[in-house]
Structure 1
Amino acid sequence: MSKYKHILLDLDETLLDFHASEKSCFIALMKSLEITNEQELYEFFSPINKSLWKLLERKLIDKPTLFQTRFSKLLDHAASKEYITNPSGIPSVMEVNNMYFKLMSQSGIPIEGAHDFLHRLQSVDGIDLSAITNGNTITAKGRFASSNLNSRIKRLYISDEVGFDKPDIRFFDYVMKDIGDSNPDNYLVVGDSLTSDIQGANNCGMPCCLFSRTGILPDGYELLRIDQTALDYESIYNIVTNA
Structure 2
Amino acid sequence: MKKGWLKILIASPKKYEYLLFDIDNTIMDFTAGEKTALFLTMEEFGISLAQTDYQKYLAVNKAAWSRFEAGELDSIDVQRVRFEDFAAHLGRDVAQATDMNARYVENLGEQAILFDGAAELLERLSRRYQLAIATNGLSLVQRARLAKAGILPLFRGVFISQEMRVPKPDKAYFELIFAFFGDEAREKYLMIGDSLSADIQGGINAGIDTCWYRPAGEALPADIAPTYTIDGYAELLALLLPG
Q: Same fold (TM over 0.5)?
A: yes
For the pair 1:37 / 2:37, whether they are aligned, the reply is no
SS at match of 1:209: strand
Structure 1 position 154, deviation (Å): 2.5
Question: How far off is 1:242 after superposition?
Answer: 4.1
Aligned counterpart, 1:179: 181
What is residue 98 of structure 2 aligned with on the other side? Answer: 94
Which residue is 2:198 aligned to? 196
In the alignment, structure 1 residue 73 sits paired with structure 2 residue 85? yes
Task: Map Cα deviations across residues 158-205 of structure 1 (whole Å, 9 max, x no partner).
Answer: 011112110101100000100111101000100111111111111111
Per the alignment, residue 212 of structure 2 pairs with 210
Contact 1:30 1:38 in 2 (8 A): no
Amino acid aligned to 2:45:
L
How many Å apart are 1:153 and its aligned residue?
A: 2.3
The counterpart of 1:9, out of the listed 9, 14, 21, is 21
Distance 2:30 2:50 in 1: 18
Aligned to 1:234: 234
Structure 2 CA distance for aligned equivalents of residues 47 and 93 of structure 1: 16
CA contact (8 A) 2:75 2:137 kept: no
Gaps of 5+ in 2: 1-12
Given residue 33 of structure 2, which amino acid in structure 1 is its aligned partner?
S
Distance in 2, Cα, partners of 1:14 & 1:169 = 21
The residue aligned with 1:123 is 127
Provide the rounded CA distance (Å) in 1 between the counterparts of 2:109 and 2:181: 26
TM-score, reference length from structure 2: 0.89
> What residue in structure 2 maps to residue 25 of structure 1?
37
- Bigger drift between 68-77 and 128-137 goes to 68-77
- Using the size of structure 1 for normalisation, the TM-score is 0.89
CA contact (8 A) 2:87 2:96 kept: no
Where structure 1 has 5 or more consecutive residues not aligned to the other structure, the ranges are: none
